[in-house]
A and B are shown apart, each in its own frame.
Chain A
């Protein structure tokens, strides 16, 4: 079965990002496919590579990047939500005159159409939020 996941909250403040991650791992462990993980609202904050959580705490951003790399996952950050919250890749930096980028490895910034496409192409779409 093809699953997609919508992550609507950022790392640490809400448990949603953790739950979404554990769920994603369990989906793969069961032999299903993940079509896309889409990050919206504050969920885009899962994609900044500038976090430094305490050494003895889980590194939520790196965890997503690693899961994506090991399983060839498509992690998509909504461009409008990212612009509002300052998640920036090279393209956004040039387009909006910013002086830095901060997008973590494994993520890409794209439009809300990617969420709709995920709904169309997947058998199941699960929302994790507040």
Chain B
């Protein structure tokens, strides 16, 4: 099978809409298809990665466990926009998984290198 570079671009906060959750399902399938998968988190997308989601009260599944599963699928390229973190008063220490924090411009350069960009 051809291997292409797929980047999933996540810009939306979790739980307020379903996009973040259903985007994750695409990531896992792309990895199962042995594609070169990376994830970019920009704007409110960075909130998806925040530690400590307690979702029992809103009766939906939390993200944290699934981030942990990504490594099992060999999905380790997670890029987070530094400016998006800073605007929201967050640092890499607030996040549930290891990520590479890059400037928006550097994430833009990575986007240019992809074969397929999926936004949700």
Contacts and interface: CB of A to CB of B under 8 A. Distances in A.
Interface of A: 6, 8, 40-41, 80-81, 111-113, 115-117, 119-120, 125, 127, 129
B4 interface: yes
7 contacts: A8-B19, A80-B22, A116-B6, A116-B33, A119-B4, A119-B115, A129-B119
Contacts of A40: 22, 26
B18 A125 contact: no
Q: How large is the interface on B (under 10, 10 to 19, 20 to 34, 35 or more residues)?
A: 20 to 34
A119 B119 contact: no
Given A116-B33, A120-B1, A41 B18 contact: yes
Interface in B2-32: 2, 4, 6, 18-19, 22, 25-26, 29-30, 32
A111 B28 CA distance: 12
B76 interface: no
Contacts of A112: 25-26, 29
